[in-house]
Amino acid sequence: MLGSAAAVAFSMIMALLSWPAAHPWVLALILVAAVGAGRLWLRRRQEAARWDRVRAQGLLYAVEHLDGLHHNDFEFAVRDLMHRDGCSDAQKVGGRGDNGADVKATDPYGRRWVIQCKHRKAGWSGSAVGTPDLQVLNGTGRQIHGGDVLVMLTNGRFSKPALDFAKSQHLHLVDRHLLAWWAGGSRPLWELLRAVPPPRTPASLS
């Protein structure tokens, strides 16, 4: 009786050992999945550690430092500032085909932010951000990106027609002066802007 049971057990073990040898592609898939999961876990750990350092240090930028950044790094800096303010999902999405959005984030009150960044190497002396750029943001920010708060942000200035257009379309503008206040301080952007939409839900306030 025991001999029969042992023989059955041995046969099952041998079958289990021989099956992978007959199906090596399964092992390859498992290995690829394991490596991918390991990389994802490591990336998340590294990103979490980075944000812990940011929060511990208190992220501050002088506007003159922002002037010297490449436009791509400028967008990353804006993302980091939104993350500093409590937008845990803040991400840089700018690039070819970004449809008018460089940074997207959800604030602690559930509002979706869509930010278009315009970097000027010459700062305030550079060319003013005009109405055409705002028209792109206005046409895509809500319809495509689902934004509640649409922001055009620059380390420079805005033209007079752009100011008028933004007011008429309920767009928010962050010029050099406001950027310096935000980046160099500790108050979140929604406390510095006027007429920001109310929280999406009361639960977001908890």
Is the Cβ–Cβ distance between 112 and 104 less than 8 Å?
yes
Determine which of 95-109, 110-124, 147-161, 165-179 has the lowest per-residue pLDDT on average.
95-109
CB 117 within 8 A of CB 137: no
CA distance 155 to 123: 5
- pLDDT (tens digit per residue) in 130-185: 999 999 999 999 999 999 999 999 999 999 999 999 999 999 999 999 999 999 99
Q: Which range has the top average pLDDT, 3-7, 96-100, 117-121?
A: 117-121
Closest CA to 188 of 66, 113, 112, 86: 86
Q: Report the candidate in 62, 110, 103 with the shortest Cα–Cα distance to residue 83.
A: 103
Which class for 192: exposed (0-12), middle (13-18), buried (19 or more C-beta within 10 A)? middle
Position 51 scores a pLDDT of: 54
